[in-house]
Amino acid sequence: MIKKVCFLVAVSVSSFAFSQNNVREKLSNYFDSLHVHHKVMGSFAFADNDQTSFIKVVGFSDVEKLQKANMNTQYRVGSISKTFTAVLVMKAVEDKKLAISTKLSQFFPEIENAEKITIENLLQHRTGIHNLTDEAEYLQYNTQTKTEKDLVGIIKKYKSDFNPGIKFEYSNSNYILLGFILEKVYKKSYAELIKDKIAKPLKLTLTEVGGKIDASKNQAKSYTYRNGTYHLSTETDMSIPGGAGNIISTPTELLKFILGLEHGKLITKESLKQMKNFSDNYGYGLVKVPFNQYSGYGHNGGIDEFKSFLYYFPDLKVAVGSLTNQSDYDNNQIAINMLKIASGQDFQIPNFKSFAVSEVELQQFVGIYSAANIPVKFDIFIKDKTLMAQATGQSAFPLEATSKNSFKFDMAGIVVNFDPSKKQFRIIQGGIETIFTKE
């Protein structure tokens, strides 16, 4: 459902400045190239000097009907919803309906350690409340409608992972509970609160709580791309993510949201300062985001096959937003390239040349691989004539050949180099290289 947050990696960039028209055209070509090579479908926008100055849309909102997406197509934003929920919580604090020291036991005493867990703990993922989406059983009910009673029942049955306050551990359960708490203190639905306290003040017409996807209303479906075909994803019932991930929007409206937050149109500057109370790089529904010497804030997300990010850099006065409904490419790299262009710098468009390796040749790589002093093992196997890799406890991912023995997985920035003679492979991610040997 809602993917765990990840952090933007700082990169070195050329100091050479290009004309704004040229760099924007290059960025547009970049997204065209990503789409032509089936790396992404989606919508992208950035603002500089706090004004939206770039919009690009590629691909379909509905592949089956060949319905192209446009700038008003709504996408599921996933965990960017957590920032919306945190803003509503700070609004409730300003309205004297909550305090960040308020205990969870005031609303859900049946949850383990509720008398020790504060609203602030929930906001910062420091509760120990187990993440319901980490469990295998989640995929048995995530397409079904669930009530508050159902979800609280699921959350409370899991044992606490740690004592409240001692560490950060991302859990969608925290923000599902915050959504319910907001409904109780305001006596309104979460959907009404989003409309009344965020959409209306900012004049957002395409940002709302989502329901069942309706392509006829210009709402995007999500897909995977395998063996030359787009495959429709299953659809999470939006009653489940709630305050953790049930909002739909567009990149341009997300930019208006984060700029409105920055400029005091939703909550006070003091409340926003509290939201930036980062601990382990996570504040109140905000991630601390580095880019070169600059520091920004925002959130990313994922639900079904939708992926997203929304970041703002106060010193640069630059905001970037992305919503995709199919992606086999590293979202982090897209964000970096958008930030480069938004700040007038150049970037390199990748080469997507493919390399054909026969299924017979792929067989030599198949097996279980392990590494010394690392608890994770890799299962390398073939599915639908594609080489796949699956780490212990994680989802399988496809490996795309770049040479006879080298493969990549662009979505996570992974490179895998096999050495059949030694029955090993080297996996490289984020500059870290690890050797795994076939058992």
Q: What is the pLDDT of residues 254-289, one digit of tens each?
A: 999 999 999 999 999 999 999 999 999 999 999 999
Confidence tier at 348 by pLDDT (50, 70, 90)? confident
Per-residue pLDDT tens over the stretch 94-149: 999 999 999 999 999 999 999 999 999 999 999 999 999 999 999 999 999 999 99
What is the value of pTM for the model shown?
0.84
Q: What angle do CA 97, 241, 414 make, to 5 degrees?
A: 125
The predicted structure's pLDDT at residue 20 = 54
User: Would the CA dihedral through 265, 218, 411, 337 be positive or negative?
Assistant: negative
Question: Is it the case that residue 183 has pLDDT exceeding 60?
Answer: yes
The predicted structure's pLDDT at residue 6 = 42
Q: In whole angstroms, what is the distance from residue 263 CA to residue 257 CA? A: 10
- φ, ψ of residue 18 in degrees (nearest 5): -110, 160
Residue 49 DSSP one-character state? T
Which residues, in sequence order, are CB contacts of 114 under 8 Å at separation 6+?
A: 103, 104, 105, 108
Q: In whole angstroms, what is the distance from residue 122 CA to residue 178 CA? A: 7
Residue 135 DSSP one-character state? S
The predicted structure's pLDDT at residue 394 = 84
Distance from the Cα of residue 292 to its chain's centroid: 21
Whole-number Cα distances in Å, 224 to 10, 139, 171, 228: 29, 17, 25, 10
Listed residue (105, 136, 100) closest to 119, CA to CA: 100
Listed residue (299, 254, 267, 298) closest to 98, CA to CA: 267
Q: Which of 48-52, 203-207, 237-241 has the lowest mean pLDDT?
A: 48-52
Confidence tier at 345 by pLDDT (50, 70, 90)? confident
Tallying the residues shown for the chain, one arrives at: 439
The predicted structure's pLDDT at residue 251 = 98
Confidence tier at 350 by pLDDT (50, 70, 90)? confident
What's the mean pLDDT in 15-34? 74
Question: Is it the case that residue 9 has pLDDT exceeding 50?
Answer: no
Rounded mean pLDDT of the chain?
Answer: 92
